[in-house]
Amino acid sequence: MSDSRIHPLDTRIPPLVVLLLHLILSWGLAQLFGRVELSEAIRLCGAFLLSSVGVGVALAGVIAFRRHKTSVDPVHIDKASTLVTSGIYRITRNPMYVGFLCLLLAFNWYLAAPVGGLAALIFIGYLTRFQIKPEERFLLNCYGQAYRDFLATTRRWL
């Protein structure tokens, strides 16, 4: 977190848009590199389970923010009014992004395209660099030691 450089992409593209772009990338990679043979039932079941986890984790993050009456707007991080460290935030500092990652993995499972794992890695890298790290710098400035304690006890992703 010592990287304090500001980049023009920092918190500019909403994470939901980033997810949609990576879903398209996954689909394109599946078209280029093919898929593995899986039954429709296995594809649907796996996709349903992963997407259910994703939606549940992301919603838990949104609900925790709402309970604490703080903003869920990832583009305008300066609207955050409270440091939330309870509930799902005891497991991950970024449940909404973990939920999005699960949705991306669910889509790749449904496509039966292992190459989609590349899109998932790019998604993690992009969000970490251009969304999460700028958020962390902001929260560190706002909440100081309380946020340092949170960083020390809760993982960024899982």
Higher pLDDT: 94 or 4? It is 94
- Sorting pLDDT into bands at 50, 70 and 90, what band is 87? very high
pLDDT at 136 over 70: yes
In Å, what is the CA distance from 131 to each residue of 3, 18, 48, 52? 13, 10, 27, 24
- Sorting pLDDT into bands at 50, 70 and 90, what band is 77? confident
Question: Smallest Cα–Cα separation from 99: which of 23, 47, 155, 157?
Answer: 157
Predicted local confidence at residue 3, as pLDDT? 55
Overall pTM surpassing 0.85 (yes/no): yes
- Sorting pLDDT into bands at 50, 70 and 90, what band is 48? very high
Predicted local confidence at residue 4, as pLDDT? 59
Question: Mean per-residue pLDDT for 96-106?
Answer: 98
Predicted local confidence at residue 78, as pLDDT? 85
**What is the Cα gyration radius of the chain?**
17
